[in-house]
């Protein structure tokens, strides 16, 4: 096992938990926010499991997934815009809970959580099918176009999974206002 990669993954994982938790629970004004805990569980438990699997089965894939530095300026703008969207969406969801603006029914949040987990399964299958799946655009030696499995159905199944993940997060948090932000 690559110790440096392990510690990089653990640090990014823990920082993600702290950041998302802060962005959700601080605006909510309480830790007694069921939807916030639900999102934290369905987001970070599968992420932890996927990270462990990648650490042992494909550390190169984990390393490329941890590399978030975009080389293309246009992509950097998209990544930065996504970051702003996440900040605003999570903060608005917390504020929505605190001030009871418009809380979605629990049944809708549970359905969204199930869809979120199904999207995570799609994401996991994409990681399994495509060993060259990087967060940044790269061409590697011996890389080939994948056209089987999910790639035989959809050209970019990871984008499909990502869209489902992004659009279900605010619903899991119970916030229609946050959904509008994530939809943008």
Domain ranges of the chain: 3-183
CATH 3.40.50 fits 3-183, yes or no: no
Structure pTM? Answer: 0.87
DSSP secondary structure string, 12-42? HHHHHHHHHHHHHHHHHTSS--HHHHHHHHH
Torsion angle in degrees (nearest 10) through CA of 75, 145, 119, 52: -90
The mean pLDDT of 69-75, rounded to a whole number, is: 69
Beta carbons within 10 angstroms of residue 174's beta carbon: 25
Chain position carrying tokens 């938790």? 21
Residue 125 in this model has a pLDDT that exceeds 90: no
What are 95-113's pLDDT values in tens digits?
999 999 999 999 999 999 9
Where does the pLDDT of residue 71 fall: very low under 50, low under 70, confident under 90, or very high at 90 and above?
low
- Say how far apart CA 46 and CA 124 lie, in whole Å: 9
Residue 68 in this model has a pLDDT that exceeds 70: no
């Amino acid at each position: 096992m690559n110790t440096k990669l392990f510690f990089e993954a653990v640090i990014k994982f823990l920082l993600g938990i702290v950041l998302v938790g802060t962005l959700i629970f601080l605006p909510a004004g309480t830790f007694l926010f069921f939807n916030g805990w639900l999102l934290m569980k369905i987001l970070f438990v599968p992420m932890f499991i996927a990270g462990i699997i990648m650490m042992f089965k494909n550390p190169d894939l984990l390393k490329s997934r941890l590399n978030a530095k975009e080389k293309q300026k246009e992509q950097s703008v998209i990544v930065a815009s996504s970051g702003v969207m996440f900040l605003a969406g999570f903060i608005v969801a917390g504020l929505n809970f605190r001030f009871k603006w418009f809380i979605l029914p629990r049944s809708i949040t549970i359905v969204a959580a199930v869809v979120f987990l199904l999207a995570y399964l799609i994401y996991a299958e994409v990681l399994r099918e495509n060993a060259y799946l990087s967060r940044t655009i790269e061409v590697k030696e011996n890389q080939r176009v994948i056209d089987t499995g999910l790639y035989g159905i959809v050209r970019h199944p990871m984008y499909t999974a990502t869209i489902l993940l992004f659009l279900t997060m605010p619903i899991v948090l119970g916030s229609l206002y946050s959904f509008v932000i994530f939809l943008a």
